[in-house]
Structure 1
């Protein structure tokens, strides 16, 4: 029909997204520091103003090493980095040696899982952090949605770490990954959810491994909920 509008000009508009295309990010992104990963992420980096969920088969498999280049980048913008309920002790000289400004690094270690969720929400609502990283193994779908809403109202890069067993659960996070430690310190990154077509194969990254620590796992009180006895365990990890 002569009066019909051609689709090609419409599909070329930047505010139109097709399901078979990798979306461009409507908000700024934080470069990951890994060219292959940036090429697979919408907008070319970790999203700001949105939640990134990273599933782990154990704390300390390399999540810090994965995010460290991005944290080093955002340092130049003067943003704060907030870590909520990390399951391992942090060695300040090692972080400083990696170029992280300790004056802008905040660690929050709540006694209970609900307090950890609240702390992460409040940090995002404050508008201060450039990056928020929260280890919340008990978080359910409702908690994930609360964090996504908080992240969407901020300009921070928000990262939530949950166990790999949560893979089958619904998640409001627009970006969802699974992280696995490989031999020789490499990491396998499987993108489970992104705005765009599925990634055919996992990515293999070779991050710098500045930390090797003996850490304390989350106390059972955080994993099993309030009232549970704290029975911390120790094991060697690569962060």
Structure 2
């Protein structure tokens, strides 16, 4: 069958025929360069952001500092980070330590369950989880939980995961830059556009706008029980 026939039957997708979805204003990332690349000019509540990284401490956490510092009233949940964060550095950056929860799980099943619970309840301004090998089904379930709770989740995974299918609408690849206060970020996936090549961001502390800070400190949603992820 010729290409013309396939087009007539509607069997071939055309980028020019994509119906534009309503753009929802996001939470500013605190990095103007990154805001300009993402739909809605920032992080989208109700979504999962996957962050594959090759080197621990390359700046993957400092990328989130503007969001974390704006979360002064709601909880920020960290699930199984590879190292215990240095509290004085977090405090110096403006992170409210009394609103930070650190969870250590006993198994991957418990880890996924904890992340899912927090996302679905919408009780945190941000949920940060560190995962190794995980099934696409489990990631899809986490994305559904984030959408239900209108929550914002960040999943940190090994760099090899960047070539796997992404369940969430956004995937960022951070890489260290030669300058200590810079971070190279590649947007591997984002809603409403094609992947974007490396951009170098400044890691100097920035603040979110008044609107973003207000959204980050909204009261927590009511709790809801869900089944564990298998």
TM range (shorter): 0.7 to 0.9
Q: Does 1:194 align with 2:190?
A: yes
**Alignment counterpart, residue 35 of structure 1, candidates 32, 38, 53:** 32
Per-residue deviation, 1:187: 1.2
The 1:199–1:20 alpha-carbon spacing in structure 2 relative to 1, beyond 3 Å, is farther
Per-residue deviation, 1:52: 0.7
Per-residue deviation, 1:20: 9.7
> Using the alignment, how far apart are the partners of 2:203 and 2:133 within structure 1?
28
Q: Which structure has the higher relative contact order (CA within 8 Å, separation 6+)?
A: 2
> Using the alignment, how far apart are the partners of 2:71 and 2:41 within structure 1?
15
Q: TM-score, normalised by structure 1?
A: 0.73
**Alignment counterpart, residue 142 of structure 1, candidates 137, 160, 167:** 137
Alignment deviations for residues 57-107 of structure 1 (CA, whole Å, 9 cap, x no partner):
1332211110011111233xx221101110011222222222111121101
Alignment size in residue pairs: 189
Which residue is 2:126 aligned to? 131
The 1:190–1:80 alpha-carbon spacing in structure 2 relative to 1, beyond 3 Å, is same
Where does structure 1 lack aligned partners over 5 or more consecutive residues? Answer: 1-16, 210-239
Which residue is 2:10 aligned to? none
Q: TM-score, normalised by structure 2?
A: 0.75
**Alignment counterpart, residue 172 of structure 1, candidates 167, 173, 194:** 167
Aligned 8 A contact 2:120 2:151 in 1: no
Q: Does 1:118 align with 2:113?
A: yes
> Using the alignment, how far apart are the partners of 1:200 and 1:149 within structure 2?
25
> Using the alignment, how far apart are the partners of 1:44 and 1:24 within structure 2?
13
Which residue is 1:51 aligned to? 48
Where does structure 2 lack aligned partners over 5 or more consecutive residues? Answer: 1-15, 206-230
